[in-house]
Structure 1
Amino acid sequence: MSGGMTPDRDEHVLADVKAPLREMVFPFLEMIVVTGVLWIIIGWFDAADAGRYGVGPLHLPPEWRNGFVLLWAVLVLWRFLLPLLRKRRRRMIVTDRRIIFRGDGFRARPRTLSMSAVTWAEKERGLLAVYLRDSDVPVCYRGLPKVRKIARIINDPHL
């Protein structure tokens, strides 16, 4: 078996899902607000440099404007792009022999469950609970789309 997120040649992929984009709604809205506020301030600096709109007496160095542009770029990277890339790394592959799951983050490593060890899977409060033969506590996976369909595939892989 391969150690990464790619199934072996003799495995049949039944489901392959990534984290849904709906988890990025609030970071996206935050990015819109940050962009609007900071670019209003940057426009105010531009108008002050041109002496328009009655803000002429305030003469600030152009480095301040550049500092706000840099602040905007850092905030967009930190509050939107990095969380987007981190969340989109979450992935689950269900094959006829195993379940491969990788969590959020750049350092997350794939974890594998053998299908022979799985007794049952179901949706519980929005997450996928996979029950194993040798454990009373299920393995739970959070933040996956189509949880009910994945549970059906795990329970009956011949669908």
Structure 2
Amino acid sequence: MIFVFLLFLATITLSASAKVDPFARRELHVLFQKADANNDRYLDQKELKRFVDTFTRRIPRVYKGIEVTGDTLEGARILADELFKRADKHKEGRLSYKGTLVKKSDATNFGELAEKVIINLAHEVNEKPSPYAGVNPFSNMVYRQKRSQEFQINAPVLV
């Protein structure tokens, strides 16, 4: 009977710690919307670095029990930089905030993904369960690299 009570108590404690105030989560999202410091409607590398640093440092305000260390900041910068390179299809070094009614902008799509990846990173560093467990933009990266290498090895030689 005591075991059942302790199990019940542990479940309540875990569920209470997992709850996030939606208003506080929204404040984190607004940080990305305000990342365009020079108001040119593009997110560039300088603005990206500032956004990642500010966003990562504010995660503990929303997700209790999370501490941001230097490793977390460095990892967030590296992940965000890699995601930025992938999202920058035109290799201009910037992403447009200009979207349409039908399609979100490249910067907005990037921002939503970067937020989730950085939040997951902070949780993993603190050995907590990730709130966005299904989000892993690098999951097929190894497979793509392997296929690319196979193609280079087996590619016909044109003379």
**Shorter-chain TM-score above 0.5:** no
More relative contact order in 1 or in 2 (CA 8 Å, sep 6+)?
Answer: 1
More helix by share: 2
**Rg larger in structure:** 1
More strand by share: 1
What is the TM-score with the length of structure 1 in the denominator? 0.25
